[in-house]
Amino acid sequence: MAFELPPLPYAYDALEPTISKETMTVHHDKHHKAYTDKLNEGVAADPKLAGKSIEEILATASTQPPLIRNNGGGFWNHDFFWKSMKQGGGQPSGKLAAAIDTYGGLDKLKEDFNAKGVGQFGSGWVWLIADTGGTLKVTSTPNQDNPLMDVAADKGTPLLGNDVWEHAYYLTYKNDRAAYLKAWWHVVDWEAVGGRYEAVA
């Protein structure tokens, strides 16, 4: 198969109580696996996609059928999501901390990020991205779209992303997306986010 389901980088219960073991198990083993399997179905049906990386595929999302666009996005987004979290995520430092200060500070960043997440109609994602100059921006995308896609209203390098589909939080937070977004900051891996920023800035 072209793409394999990446394993979680930690145990299923590693992010409790922010994200429950049950949520993580269903989210990874069912949802992420389904995106992976369906992406492979689409790639197998189109010889032009053979050997392409997921980033190359996403860059041409506007030319892809829904099967590829939706499941390719779901495949990439979830792998990025898992790698953006750890228990006791720390604080921003270095160049990233300086960029956040320029943005208006961490409290403002969290406020804007949470507001964008709550305001995303239906299912989707909220992102912290950087442009080629290192300027930070908070944005959101519907469904499984992301800022790497040529269809994105705001394109850039994703530094951090949170899944605001109900399957990401419903078992613990029910329909309270705002509570989930607020709690989620406890498990943001700022070291990983900072490394992504270092590669851009």
* pLDDT tens track, the chain, 201 positions: 689 999 999 999 999 999 999 999 999 999 999 999 999 999 999 999 999 999 999 999 999 999 999 999 999 999 999 999 999 988 999 999 999 999 999 999 999 999 999 999 999 999 999 998 999 999 999 999 999 999 999 999 999 999 999 999 999 999 999 999 999 999 999 999 999 999 998
The residue written with tokens 């994200």 in the block is 19
Fold that domain 21-82 belongs to in CATH:
Helix Hairpins (1.10.287)
Q: How far is residue 113's CA from residue 162's CA, in Å, rounded to a whole number?
A: 9
Phi, psi dihedrals of residue 197, rounded to the nearest 5°: -70, -40
Determine contact, residues 193/160, Cβ cutoff 8 Å: yes
Same CATH topology for 21-82 and 94-198: the answer is no
Distance CA 194, CA 199 (A): 9
Give the orientation angle of helix 177-184 with respect to helix 106-119, to 10 degrees: 150
pLDDT of residue 96: 97
Contact 44, 80 (CB under 8 A): no
26's CB contacts (< 8 A; 6+ apart) are 167, 171
Report pLDDT for 1.
60
Q: Where are the domains of the chain?
A: 21-82, 94-198
Instruction: Please report the DSSP string for the chain in residue order.
Output: ----PPPPSS-TTTTTTTS-HHHHHHIIIIIIHHHHHHHHHHHHT-GGGTT--HHHHHTTGGGS-HHHHHHHHHHHHHHHHHTTB-SS-----HHHHHHHHHHT-HHHHHHHHHHHHHHS-SSEEEEEEE-TT--EEEEEEETT--TTSTT-SS--EEEEEEE-SGGGTHHHHTT-HHHHHHHHGGGB-HHHHHHHHHTT-
CATH 3.55.40.20 fits 94-198, yes or no: yes
